[in-house]
Amino acid sequence: MERILVVCLSGYSAGLLSSKMKKNVTERKLNVRIFYCALCNIEASIKKFNITKVLLAPQISWKYELREQSSFKKKDVIVIRMADYGIMNSEKILIDSLKK
């Protein structure tokens, strides 16, 4: 099962996007769980929910360096495209993240 964590600076827009992504998962009957958190809770959330992929909001793309830290070594860290994030294109973001 894929376990995806959506992360933004404060957690608000990540929460909105993750809600929409959960609907897409249900509609498509995918074996995927979606979680979200604020940047300050990323380490704890990865451990707590056994995350396999991390989706970073564009405004925190500078945190892409996280993939080099030990707790992220076996995780896919993906920066969401600004165009998709800006319009909350949850279906495209979900499909793109599952391809990587």
Distance CA 9, CA 28 (A): 29
pLDDT in tens, the chain (100 residues): 999 999 999 999 999 999 999 999 999 999 999 999 999 999 899 999 999 999 999 999 887 676 666 566 556 889 999 999 999 999 999 999 999 7
Where do the domains of the chain lie, and which CATH numbers do they carry?
2-99 (3.40.50.2300)
The helix/strand/coil state of 6 is: strand
- pLDDT of the residue at 92: 97
pTM: 0.90
2 Cβ contact list (under 8 Å, min separation 6): 30, 31, 32, 33, 52, 53, 98
- pLDDT of the residue at 16: 97
The helix/strand/coil state of 69 is: coil
